[in-house]
Amino acid sequence: MSAAPTAVLGQQLLAQDVLTQSTRGTIDVPSIQYGALSPIIIVFGVALAAVLIDAFAPAKARRTLQPLLAAGGFAAAFVAVVLLRGRRQILAAGAVAIDSPTLFMEGAILLFAFLAVLLVAERRLDSSGGAIVASAALTPGSPGATAARTSAGVQTEVYALMAFSVAGMLLFVSANTLLTMFVALEILSLPLYLLAGLARRRRLLSQEAAMKYFLLGAFSSAFFIYGLAFLYGYAGSVDLGRIADAAGTVGANDTYLYLGMALLGIGLFFKIGAAPFHSWTPDVYQGSPTPITAFMAAGTKVAAFGALLRVFYVAFGGLRWDWRPIVWTIAILTMVVGAVLALTQRDIKRMLAYSAIAHAGFLLTGLAAANSDGLRGSLFYLVAYGFTTIAAFGLVTMVRTSDGEASDLSQWQGLGRRSPTLAGIFAFLLLALAGIPLTSGFTGKFAVFQAAVAGHATPLVVVALVTSAIAAFFYVRVIVLMFFQEPATEGPIVVTRPTLTYAAVGVGAIVTLLLGVAPQPLLDLAGTAAASGFVR
């Protein structure tokens, strides 16, 4: 299971070599500042160590060792990010850039990964332990698969896969050349495809999700690399800064530039789940094990947005008059599709998936602002949304029937009467997603919308506000179900003992409240990061 990512890593090292030759001309040994790369290196180290532990440690030890290693590794990498604050340079022969926005997003990814590990490591929810199936390769319906559903044997490769994915995310947001970015994209995506297929219950749905995610993801990667080729042909370099320089000069073949930009954009818009490239989101979010869904919704979104912001601000910064109309269109489409289709959902995970799409649209208004305030707003929004969504998915794992999570909305009826605290927290998170004041959701929305109005995108903001009103309806509908309706006689049971899940949900909910009431520190951080901007 862990062979594939390792192969990818080798491929990445190879790519580094190619890159060095292409940018330098001669084969020098590039000076690599390991200190500045330490967050990425730590997480890669954790991933490799996790593979080794999985191979050699006894089964019982693995179950405690692996989560501890992953959580500890992410925490250590986060400390490294904090220690690197203020650094602003281009490293590893131009392949990787470290600057304030990058570090901000790396920190966010690591925090979300840490919380996701808590959710994944929870073993008290399912009677047979954990949300992850032991043998994912078995055909659903076969005797072995049925046994695996209730088997207490738990494999721990999920932590290695997560660590690889996180390492890819960290590299993705800090990639300074398109080639590094592509490699990082693959490192983050391939483990995710596998992770999507690991759900213990509803195996068929989970495998379908993995397959769909893989096929569509492969397509989007192809678009990305096709765009990369065009841009290389245009600028003679895959370096983001050089592409920007070339785009600033007159006379070059602009067709390549625009084609490259469009194709690259498709690859990135796919990853953030923007319409019309969103169709994988609901299926994958629904089919994946819920802790993994939480991880994807928070972590992948930051990573993909990080890359998107860097590409559009650094490489295409001078072309903003060309790409703004496109970003406008995609933002509007994404918001409308997300909000309107969410109205019709009957499954809580699918509803949250469409909500994620709508939020991607709101985030794009920050990009459409194309100013430093927009960058600040996007950074803040990503953190705010990530914490809220992890907490929300974490809560979803706790509402269960005897046959796994009660993900059908009708099963949530009257939950507020049965377990008021849990339902109250979920209602609060929904209000945050809807953007009610005194929650982080409102502050985030305000930050991006204010930047967009200042950036002369007022019509976009008006559309965003109208879709916010539409979106409010389906969040409110869940509250109505939970609080205003009588519980069904055969309602779901809320599991009350999951300490780790409670911890993750609690952290998410508290941060959601804090960022609504006292957003100043994080806004300061995001503001400073945005003001210093991406390094070129």
Partner 1 sequence: MNSFPWLTVLLIVPAVAAVVVMAVPRRFATVAKQITLAVTLVEFGLALLATIAYEPSRAGFQFAQKYSWIRQFGVSYSVGADGISLVLILLATLLVPVVVLASWDEVAGPAQAGAGGADVVSRRSVSAFFALLLALEVGMIGVFAATDVFLFYVFFEAMLIPMYFLIGSYGAVKEQAQRSYAAVKFLLYSLFGGLLMLAAVIGLYVVSADQLGTGTFDFATLRQLDITPGVQKLLFLGFFIAFAIKAPLFPFHTWLPDAGAQSPTGGAILLVGVLDKVGTFGLIRYCIPLFPDASSYFAPMVLALAVVGIFYGALLAIGQRDMKRLVAYTSLAHFGFIAMGTFALTSQGGTGAVLYMVNHGLSTGLLFLVVGFLVTRRGSRDVSAYGGMAKVTPVLAGVFLIAGLSSLALPGLNSFVSEFLVLAGTFTRYRALAIVATCGIVLAAIYILYLFQRTMTGPLVHEQAKGVLDLSVREKIVVAPVVALIIALGVYPKPLIDIIRPTVTATFEDAGHTDPAPSVPVNAAPVNASQAGGHS
Query: For binding to partner 1 (CB under 8 A), which residues are involved?
Result: 376, 416-417, 420, 431, 434, 436-438, 442-443, 446-447, 449-450, 453-454, 458, 461-462, 465-466, 468-469, 472-473, 476-477, 479-480, 483-487, 519-520, 523-524, 527
Give CA separation, 483 vs 259, 365, 417, 423, 480, in Å.
51, 33, 7, 8, 5
For 485, the token pair is: 């309706």
CB count, 10 Å around CB of 346? Answer: 10
- Closest by CA position to 71, among listed 507, 500, 522, 512: 500
CB of 472 to partner 1, least distance (A): 5
Write down the least CB distance from residue 396 to partner 1, Å: 22
Minimum CB distance to partner 1, residue 154 (Å) = 39
Is 52 or 466 the residue whose CB approaches partner 1 more closely? 466
Q: Are 103 and 77 in contact (CB under 8 A)?
A: no
Residue 393 CA: distances (Å) to CA of 102, 425, 426, 500:
26, 12, 10, 14
Angle at 282 between CA 137 and CA 128, to 5 degrees: 45
Residue closer to partner 1, measured from CB, 326 or 436? 436
The C-alpha atoms of residue 265 and residue 325 are separated, in whole angstroms, by 13
Query: What's the min distance (Å) between Cβ of 449 and partner 1?
Result: 6
Residue 398, C-beta contacts closer than 8 angstroms, at least 6 positions apart: 125, 422, 494, 495, 498, 501, 505
Output the smallest distance, CB 496 to partner 1, in A: 18
Nearer to partner 1, 76 or 488 (CB): 488
Provide the minimum distance between the beta carbon of 128 and partner 1 in the complex, in angstroms, as a whole number: 33
Question: Which residue, 181 or 457, has its beta carbon nearer to partner 1?
Answer: 457
Least distance between partner 1 and beta carbon 332 (Å): 15
Give the shortest CB-481-to-partner 1 separation in angstroms: 9
Instruction: Write the single-letter amino acid at 269.
Output: F
Cβ-based nearer residue to partner 1, 161 or 433: 433
Query: CB-wise, 319 or 438, nearer to partner 1?
Result: 438
**DSSP code of 36?**
T
Closest CB 434 distance from partner 1, rounded Å: 8
3 state SS for 187-199: HHHHHHHHHHCCE
State both tokens at 104.
């901000």
| Non-local CB neighbours of 346 within 8 Å, separated by 6+ positions | 408, 409, 410
Q: In the complex with partner 1, which residue's Cβ is closer, 147 or 517?
A: 517
Mapping DSSP to helix (H, G, I), strand (E, B) and coil, where does residue 370 land? coil
Q: What pairs with residue 399 in β-bridges?
A: 494
For partner 1, the closer CB: 130 or 374 = 374
Count of CB atoms situated within 10 Å of the CB of 59: 11
* Cβ count near 493 (within 10 Å): 13
**Closer Cβ to partner 1, 279 or 450, answer by number:** 450
Please, what is the minimum distance in Å from the beta carbon of residue 522 to partner 1? 10
Residue number, 177 or 443, with CB nearest to partner 1: 443
Main-chain phi, psi angles of 140, to 5 degrees: -60, 140
CB of 473 to partner 1, least distance (A): 6
In the DSSP assignment, the letter for residue 288 is S
Q: Directed axis angle between helix 372-398 and helix 520-532, to 10°? A: 130
d(CA 44, CA 34): 13
Q: What is the separation of C-alpha 182 from the centre of its chain, rounded to a whole number of angstroms?
A: 16
In whole angstroms, how close is the CB of 479 to partner 1 at the nearest point? 8
Cα atoms found within 13 Å of the Cα of residue 138, Cβ hemisphere only: 18
Q: Closest CB to partner 1 among 262 and 438? A: 438
Handedness of CA 204, 395, 386, 337 (dihedral sign): positive
Residues 263, 230 contacting (CB under 8 angstroms) = yes
Q: Please, what is the minimum distance in Å from the beta carbon of residue 388 to partner 1? A: 16
Strands 404-405 and 399-401: antiparallel
**CB-nearer residue toward partner 1: 479 or 504:** 479
